[in-house]
């Protein structure tokens, strides 16, 4: 709401500078967002919160200033010259649930023309464009008193009748902006004897609007049910000064004053003759009383405001007050539709008393008995872990471009096709919720590479959304990561293939989280290189994947990397976190020494190392404590299609020191067993 200070001064006297006035209003809840100098006047841009429709006018703001400064309000002064004789119009409210009151006056014999300069100026200062004297007067009164009015061309209304009724299915109207609109169901309409002539409270119809030729005007001032106006305005996508005020709630008592004010201006400015008022008001508003307990006010605020001061604040606000020993009763005026219960009045007292005067305290509340949130703690651990493994944290929108699922070859039966779809997305690429994180990370890669980065290591911990047809989707915390590094000369050489670097991060993470029983079987994810990818399983449940992006996928990306090998990881934390053990298990330190023996095997390339280790571990002897792999070699001296793997076996007995000869025979038979199982041969013997 734009409020010219000059106009405000007409309704209230104050000595404050515009800046100080702005500060006082702001600190009382009417935030002045900007102070604009316009010629010799200053306009305050006031942000009026939705609970205060009474402040959407100069009068309303003046009333606030009056309460703040305890200075009386000067109500706009006018006198109406009525003609004798009844109004020619017959008003009928059909749907009384949507229209509580409908009043009007006929103004005959108006001379159309421009408005006087003072009026045009005020309209312009408030951001309105002057049109003609009749329309300008309705707008002027809207700004002055906050009540929307509508002027019809009386001669274009049929049958001297006004009916206020709900729309019927299939109805249409051309509004005065020249647009033909289909009327939504349940929209409240103003109709003449034949057709709708206005969408009530929103916009008038084109074929009853006031024009240069207008001679006779029918001026409407009504109260419409706020929610109905809002629904209609939303459905039509049409927001007007009028609908904005009606949907917030107008002053049902003031509407006759606004009507008379406008009619008197039409008489004065356009030379019209004003008829008597028609006023259909089937169920007049009953003023509601609110009991306010002195003690409650101070209890809620933590203040010690004197009883008398509370009553005085209520009085300054224009509330009717009667005092009692432990409470006072207020009756809010018709413009304060927001004051419904005790707490509303408490807020008013706090507001005018001044928030800054309420003391500062520190609450005392019992400590919490339950354990805190473990999810937050685990997420922090994992996040720190990825960071120290060299990954920088990304945060992406939860939105996804559905086409990314096509890029990743995600099939139609895949759960990740179960996207949540936004009805009103900002754009097509942000119209679905993510079902996985790596599409976003891949897009981050494309962006960063286009910006010249060649070292992109990112991770993100966020929710993905899988719809299974219920009202709400499953929301699953995932961690996703992406690793791309173009080899650059470096001081300390380390020739570890990227896949194993990334896999090592996950193995170390499992160790950190004390999760065991995990494995890395080959993956069949459609977007991963089939030979360079694995699933991550824990106790045979798949919880995620690690792998190199499939060359076909990379081919579909706009990526300018010379030899891109893009590693991606994604893990469902909902599956992983329940497996995290919170407690370390103490095992007594072995009393007897171990003996290590090595074995190098040449086996078929196709045999996974993990299978050989599993077989060694499964060998029936309780003296085998552990198996680790320490060498992998392919190439010179190894036949084509074969590879060499070298293992260290650690032997230990729980109850004695093992002898060399004892281990010799056990190791020999294990070697025999494993060469038999794998069809391999012992290398270098």
Partner 1 sequence: MADINDIKKSFVDDLNSAGTSADLQRLRVKYLGKKGLITSQLKLLSTVPPEEKPVFGKLLNEIRSFIESEIDAKDLHIKDLERGRIIASGAIDVTLPGKYTLPGRPHPISAVLREMIDIFVSMGFDIEVGPEVELDFYNFEALNIPKDHPARDMQDTFYITDDVILRTQTSPVQVRTMERSKPPLKFISPGKVYRCDADVTHSPMFHQVEGLMVDTGISFSDLKGVLEVFVHRMFSKETPVRFRPSFFPFTEPSAEVDIGCILCGGRGCRICKGSGWLEVLGAGMVHPRVFEMVGYDPEVYTGFAFGVGVERITMLKYAIDDIRMFYENDIRFLRQF
Contact set for partner 1, span 225-264 (CB under 8 A): 226-228, 230-231, 247-248
User: Site for partner 1 (CB under 8 A): which residue of 455, 598, 604, 631?
Assistant: 455
Shortest approach of partner 1 to residue 48 CB, angstroms?
9
Selected from 37, 79, 423, 583, the binder of partner 1 by CB under 8 A is 423
Q: 111 vs 392, which CB is nearer to partner 1?
A: 392
Q: Is 487 in the site for partner 1 (CB under 8 A)?
A: no
Rounded CA-CA distance 414/215 in Å is 70
Q: Should residue 398 be labelled a site residue for partner 1 when binding is judged by CB under 8 A?
A: yes
Cα distance between residue 473 and residue 436, in whole Å: 14
Q: Does 367 bind partner 1 (CB under 8 A)?
A: yes
Interaction between residue 551 and partner 1 (CB under 8 A) = no
* Residues present in the chain in total: 685
Do 524 and 538 touch, CB atoms closer than 8 A? no
Query: At closest approach, how far in Å is the CB of 236 from partner 1?
Result: 14
Q: Which residue has the tokens 């647009």?
A: 179
Q: Work out which of 17, 392, 524, 621 binds partner 1, going by CB under 8 A.
A: 392
Helix (H, G, I), strand (E, B) or coil at 64: helix
Out of 300, 429, 559, 646, the only residue in the binding site for partner 1 (CB under 8 A) is 300
Q: Enter the tokens of residue 486.
A: 């173009």
* 347 lines the binding site for partner 1 (CB under 8 A): yes
Minimum CB separation of residue 300 from partner 1 in Å reads 6
End-to-end CA distance of the chain: 93
27, 429, 476, 559: residue in contact with partner 1 (rule CB under 8 A): 27
> Among 138, 348, 149, 135, which Cα is nearest to 251's?
149
Cβ atoms of 498 and 549 closer than 8 Å:
no
Q: Which is nearer to partner 1, 420 or 646 (CB)?
A: 420
Residue 451 Cβ, how far from partner 1 at the closest point, in Å?
6
What would the DSSP string read from start to end of 354-380? -GGGSPP-----PPP-S---HHHHHHH
Residue 298 Cβ, how far from partner 1 at the closest point, in Å? 8
The verdict on 453 binding partner 1 (CB under 8 A) reads: yes
Binding to partner 1 by residue 469, rule CB under 8 A? no
Residue partners of 435: CB distance under 8 A and separation at least 6: 400, 405, 415, 416, 417, 418, 419, 464, 465, 466
Kindly tell me the sign of the dihedral angle through the C-alpha atoms of 113, 117, 120, 122. Answer: negative
Q: Exposed/middle/buried for 48, CB within 10 Å: 0-12, 13-18, 19+? A: buried
Regarding 118 and contact with partner 1 (CB under 8 A), the answer is no
Nearer to partner 1, 371 or 587 (CB): 371
Containing 441, the helix (H) or strand (E) segment is helix 438-450
Instruction: Give me the 426-445 binding string for partner 1, x by CB under 8 A, dash otherwise.
Output: x---x--x----------x-
DSSP state of 83: P
Decide if residue 189 touches partner 1 (CB under 8 A): no
Beta strands in 284-411 (DSSP E): 290-293, 320-323, 327-331, 392-393, 399-400
Rg (CA), the chain: 40
496 binds partner 1 (CB under 8 A): no
Contact predicate 385/379, CB 8 Å: no
Q: Which of 108, 416, 417, 463 binds partner 1 (CB under 8 A)?
A: 463
Q: Which of residues 68-87 bind partner 1 (CB under 8 A)?
A: none
Q: Does residue number 507 form part of the binding site for partner 1 (CB under 8 A)?
A: no
Nearer to partner 1, 355 or 632 (CB): 355
Closest CA to 564 of 532, 525, 606, 535: 532
**Cβ neighbours of 492 (radius 10 Å):** 4
Which tokens is 115 given?
């408005």
Q: Could you give the angle at the alpha carbon of 76 between the alpha carbons of 74 and 80, nearest 5°?
A: 140
Report d(CA 265, CA 209) in Å as an integer.
Answer: 19
CB of 199 to partner 1, least distance (A): 16
Place of tokens 């509004």: 175
Which range touches partner 1 (CB under 8 A), out of 66-74, 135-143, 267-275, 421-429?
421-429
Stretch that binds partner 1, among 26-34, 161-169, 514-522, 650-658 (CB under 8 A): 26-34
CB 378 within 8 A of CB 571: no
CB nearer to partner 1: pick between 373 and 655: 373
Stretch that binds partner 1, among 24-32, 68-76, 523-531, 615-623 (CB under 8 A): 24-32
Task: By CB under 8 A, name the one of 101, 261, 351, 503 that touches partner 1.
Answer: 351
Establish if 372 lies at the interface with partner 1 (CB under 8 A). yes
Give 83 or 474: the residue with its C-beta nearer to partner 1: 474
| 51 binds partner 1, rule: CB under 8 A | yes
Binder of partner 1 out of 213, 373, 558, 655 (CB under 8 A): 373
Cβ atoms within 10 Å, residue 45? 15
Shortest Å, Cβ 140 to partner 1: 24
391 binds partner 1 (CB under 8 A): yes
Nearest distance from residue 670's CB to partner 1, in Å?
37
Handedness of CA 124, 128, 132, 137 (dihedral sign): negative
d(CA 173, CA 452): 57
Query: Using the rule CB under 8 A, is 127 a contact of partner 1?
Result: no
CB of 488 to partner 1, least distance (A): 13
Does 387 sit near partner 1 (CB under 8 A)?
yes
Residue 118 or 492 with smaller CB distance to partner 1: 492
Query: Which 8-state DSSP code applies to residue 469?
Result: S
Q: How many positions of this chain bind partner 1 (CB under 8 A)?
A: 91
For the CB of residue 253, give the shortest distance to partner 1 in the complex, in Å.
Answer: 21
Q: Which stretch binds partner 1 (CB under 8 A): 76-84, 371-379, 610-618, 677-685?
A: 371-379
């Amino acid at each position: 709401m734009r409020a010219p200070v000059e106009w405000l001064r007409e309704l209230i006297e104050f000595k404050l500078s515009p800046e100080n006035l702005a500060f006082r209003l702001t600190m009382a809840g009417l935030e002045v967002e900007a102070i604009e100098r316009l010629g010799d006047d200053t306009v305050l841009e006031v942000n009026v919160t939705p609970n205060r429709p009474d402040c959407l006018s100069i009068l309303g703001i003046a009333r606030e200033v009056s309460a703040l400064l305890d200075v009386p309000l000067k109500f706009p002064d006018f006198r109406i010259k009525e003609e004798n004789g009844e109004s020619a119009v017959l008003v009928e409210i059909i749907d009384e649930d949507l229209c509580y009151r409908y009043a009007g006056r006929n103004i005959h014999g108006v001379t159309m023309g421009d408005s006087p300069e003072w009026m045009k100026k005020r309209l312009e200062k408030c951001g309105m464009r002057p049109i003609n004297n009749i329309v300008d007067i309705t707008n002027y009164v809207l700004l002055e008193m906050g009540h929307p009015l509508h002027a019809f061309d009386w001669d274009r209304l049929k049958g001297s009748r006004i009916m206020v009724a709900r729309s019927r299915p299939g109805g249409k109207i051309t509004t005065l902006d020249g647009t033909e609109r289909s009327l939504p169901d349940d929209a409240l309409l103003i109709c003449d004897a034949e057709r709708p002539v206005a969408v009530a409270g929103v916009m008038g119809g084109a074929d009853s609007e006031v024009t240069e030729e207008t001679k006779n005007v029918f001026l409407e001032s009504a109260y419409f049910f706020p929610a109905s106006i809002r629904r209609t305005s939303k459905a039509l996508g049409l927001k007007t000064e009028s609908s904005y005020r009606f949907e917030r709630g107008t002053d049902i008592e003031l509407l006759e004053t606004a009507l008379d004010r406008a009619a008197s201006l039409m008489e004065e400015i356009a030379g019209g003759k004003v008829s008597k008022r028609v006023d259909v008001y089937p169920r007049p508003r009953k003023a509601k009383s609110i009991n306010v307990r002195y003690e409650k006010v101070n209890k809620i605020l933590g203040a010690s405001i004197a009883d008398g001061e509370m009553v005085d604040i209520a009085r300054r606000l224009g509330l009717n007050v009667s005092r009692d020993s432990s409470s006072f009763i207020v009756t809010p005026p018709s413009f304060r539709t927001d004051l419904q219960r005790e707490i509303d009045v408490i807020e008013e007292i706090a507001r005018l008393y001044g928030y800054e005067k309420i003391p500062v305290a520190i609450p005392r509340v019992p400590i919490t008995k339950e354990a805190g949130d473990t999810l937050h703690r685990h997420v922090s651990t994992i996040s720190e872990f990825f960071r120290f493994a060299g990954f920088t944290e990304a945060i992406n929108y939860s939105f996804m471009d559905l086409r990314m699922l096509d890029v990743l070859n995600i099939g139609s039966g895949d759960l990740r096709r179960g996207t949540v779809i936004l009805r009103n997305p900002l754009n097509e690429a942000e119209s679905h919720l993510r079902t996985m994180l790596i599409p976003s990370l891949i897009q981050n890669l494309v962006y960063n590479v286009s910006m010249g980065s060649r070292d992109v290591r990112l991770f993100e911990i966020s929710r993905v959304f899988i719809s299974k047809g219920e009202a709400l989707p499953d929301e699953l915390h995932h961690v996703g990561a992406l690793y791309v590094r173009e080899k650059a000369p470096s001081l300390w050489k380390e020739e570890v293939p990227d896949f194993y670097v990334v896999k090592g991060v996950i193995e170390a993470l499992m160790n950190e989280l004390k999760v065991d029983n995990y494995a890395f079987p080959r993956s069949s994810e459609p977007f991963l290189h089939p030979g360079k990818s694995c699933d991550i399983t824990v106790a045979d449940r798949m919880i995620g994947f690690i792998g190199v992006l499939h060359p076909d996928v990379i081919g579909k990306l706009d990526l300018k990397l010379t030899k891109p090998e893009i590693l991606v990881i994604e893990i469902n934390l909902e599956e992983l976190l329940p497996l995290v053990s919170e407690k370390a298990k103490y095992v007594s330190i072995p009393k007897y020494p171990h003996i290590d023996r090595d074995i190098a095997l040449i086996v078929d390339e196709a045999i996974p190392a993990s299978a050989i280790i599993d077989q060694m571990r499964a060998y029936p002897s309780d003296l085998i404590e552990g198996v680790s792999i320490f060498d992998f070699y392919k190439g010179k001296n190894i036949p084509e299609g074969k590879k060499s793997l070298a293992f260290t076996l650690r032997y230990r007995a729980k109850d004695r020191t093992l002898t060399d000869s004892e281990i010799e025979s056990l190791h020999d038979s294990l070697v025999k067993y494993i060469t038999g199982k794998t069809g391999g041969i012992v290398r270098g013997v």
